[in-house]
């Protein structure tokens, strides 16, 4: 089947131009005639073929068009109709490729001098005929060039659409990963904190009612905080300016079972929100792991704001673990991924006396 041309308007537009020019010449020269009627009918037939070209086999379509171009030229006394032959290599380019188009274009250019030799003796010395050959050759070259540009533009558009689909898929995957990290780092931490606080409240309900009530209050705070963060992540609600130091202080105040200290140096004002959020999520994950796995009783957080970036160090006195058996869960991996997206670094050290995580993010 014939391929769909990127510029389908070229052929019918040229046919209409030839019809207008040839008809004007015929009317001025000899008036209405059967030749003029046949000339116009063949051109209109060519335009009709353009409308149904996709339903005609490519080779048949090319031969049919070429035969009609020859027929139109035999009925045309003005010489305007020979411009139709530029459509032979032009349309062939889209179906048969560049080489075939060049061969057909060369044949068309060569045919005109042969025709002049047979019908116009001494045409080589007549400027108008030599000019006709040169202009016809130039038209063929421009037609092939235009076809090449159209094909490349179509191929580029197809490639661009493919790239856009890939970008869309990658963006969707990246967004899924982001949401997974947010859910794990935020909900995972708060659910762990709630579980710890409720266990404490249950254990001390009779022995220390005030401590149990405090634990329930902290669990309620963690639940409220988790709900707020879910709304902010999923619905992207407006929120008050985020301050990492205040968020860490608030987080520490509502964690029981650990003695946590926070040491801050430098100025936080004006720092990128993405970097500050990444540090906060890392601190959440580290404290969750300390509560859940390490058996630590003391955790020390050191946060340093510098001109080029920030450094966060979380050190606990838990039992640690061999580095070659580092936990493979989503928590540590998500922490590394989040920091890597900011071109930051994460160093992990662990042993019998505790675990230390050092995180560096640039601004």
pLDDT for 2 equals 43
Residue 357 lies in a domain: yes
User: For residue 274, is pLDDT > 80?
Assistant: yes
Claim to verify: residue 105 and residue 250 sit in the same structural domain:
no
Domain span at 77: 10-165
Claim to verify: residue 156 and residue 50 sit in the same structural domain:
yes
Claim to verify: residue 244 and residue 158 sit in the same structural domain:
no
The CATH number assigned to the domain holding 345 equals 3.30.565.10
User: For residue 183, is pLDDT > 70?
Assistant: no
Residue 77 lies in a domain: yes
Helix (H), strand (E), coil (C) string for the chain? CCCCCCCCCHHHHHHHHHHHHHHHHHHHHCCCCHHHHHHHHHHHHHHHHHHCHHHCCHHHHHHHHHHHHHHHHHCCCCCHHHHHHHHHHHHHHHHHCHHHHHHHHHHHHHHHHHHHHHHCCCHHHCHHHHHHHHHHHHHHHHHHHHHHHHHHHHHHHHHHHHHHHHHHHHHHHHHHHHHHHHHHHHHHHHHHHHHHHHHHHHHCCCCCHHHHHHHHHHHHHHHHHHHHHHHHHHHCCCCCCCCHHHHHHHHHHCCCCCEEEEEEECCCCCCCHHHHHHHHHHHHHHHHHHHHHHCCCEEEEEEEECCCEEEEEEEECCCCCCHHHCCCCHHHHHHHHHHHCCCCEEEEEEECCEEEEEEEEEC
Highest mean pLDDT among 19-28, 163-172, 183-192, 248-257: 19-28
Lowest mean pLDDT among 46-60, 223-237, 256-270, 345-359: 223-237
Claim to verify: residue 270 and residue 134 sit in the same structural domain:
no
Q: Which of 165, 199, 224 is the last residue of a domain?
A: 165
Residue 328 lies in a domain: yes
Residue 144 lies in a domain: yes
Count: domains in the chain: 2
Q: Which of 165, 199, 225 is the last residue of a domain?
A: 165
Claim to verify: residue 158 and residue 284 sit in the same structural domain:
no
> In whole numbers, what is the pLDDT of the chain averaged over residues?
82
Residue 59 lies in a domain: yes
Highest mean pLDDT among 52-56, 235-239, 251-255, 344-348: 344-348
Claim to verify: residue 16 and residue 151 sit in the same structural domain:
yes
Claim to verify: residue 154 and residue 271 sit in the same structural domain:
no
Which one has a higher pLDDT value, 41 or 170?
Answer: 41
pLDDT for 288 equals 77
User: For residue 229, is pLDDT > 70?
Assistant: no
pLDDT for 326 equals 55
Q: Which of 165, 192, 224 is the last residue of a domain?
A: 165
Residue 224 lies in a domain: no
Residue 73 lies in a domain: yes
Residues 91-100, mean pLDDT to the nearest whole number: 91
Residue 31 lies in a domain: yes
Claim to verify: residue 260 and residue 346 sit in the same structural domain:
yes
Which one has a higher pLDDT value, 185 or 109?
Answer: 109
pLDDT for 128 equals 87
Claim to verify: residue 137 and residue 284 sit in the same structural domain:
no
User: For residue 179, is pLDDT > 80?
Assistant: no
Claim to verify: residue 352 and residue 256 sit in the same structural domain:
yes
Lowest mean pLDDT among 75-79, 126-130, 229-233: 229-233
Claim to verify: residue 36 and residue 161 sit in the same structural domain:
yes
pTM for the structure as a whole: 0.49
């Amino acid at each position: 089947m014939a391929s769909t041309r990127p510029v389908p308007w070229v052929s019918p537009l040229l046919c209409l131009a030839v019809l207008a020019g040839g008809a004007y010449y015929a009317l001025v020269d000899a008036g209405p005639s059967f030749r003029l009627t046949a000339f116009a009918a063949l051109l209109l037939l060519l335009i009709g073929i353009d409308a149904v070209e996709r339903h005609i086999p490519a080779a048949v379509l090319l031969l049919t068009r070429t035969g009609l171009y020859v027929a139109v030229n035999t009925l045309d006394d003005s010489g305007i109709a020979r411009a139709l032959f530029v459509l032979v290599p032009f349309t062939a380019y889209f179906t048969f490729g560049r080489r075939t188009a060049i061969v057909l274009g060369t044949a068309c250019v060569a045919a005109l001098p042969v025709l002049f030799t047979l019908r116009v003796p001494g045409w080589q010395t007549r400027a108008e005929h030599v000019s006709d050959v040169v202009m016809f050759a130039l038209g063929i070259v421009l037609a092939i060039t235009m076809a090449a540009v159209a094909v490349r533009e179509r191929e580029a558009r197809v490639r661009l659409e493919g790239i856009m689909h890939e970008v869309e898929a990658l963006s969707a995957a990246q967004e899924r990963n982001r949401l997974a990290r947010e859910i794990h780092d935020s909900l995972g931490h708060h659910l762990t904190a709630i579980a710890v606080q409720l266990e404490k409240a249950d254990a001390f309900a009779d022995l220390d009612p005030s401590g149990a009530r405090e634990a329930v209050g902290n669990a309620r705070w963690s639940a409220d905080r988790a709900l707020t963060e879910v709304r902010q992540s999923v619905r992207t609600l407006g929120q008050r300016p985020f301050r990492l130091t205040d968020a860490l202080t608030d987080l520490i105040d509502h964690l029981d079972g650990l003695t946590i200290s926070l040491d801050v140096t430098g100025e936080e004002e004006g720092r990128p929100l993405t970097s500050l959020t990444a540090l906060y999520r890392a601190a959440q994950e580290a404290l969750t792991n300390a509560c859940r796995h390490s058996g630590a009783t003391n955790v020390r957080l050191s946060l340093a704001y510098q001109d080029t970036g920030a450094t966060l160090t979380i050190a606990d006195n838990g039992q640690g673990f061999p580095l070659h058996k580092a936990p493979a869960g989503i928590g540590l991996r998500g922490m590394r991924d989040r920091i890597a997206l900011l071109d930051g670094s994460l160093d992990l050290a662990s042993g019998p006396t505790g675990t230390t995580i050092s995180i560096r993010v640039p601004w």
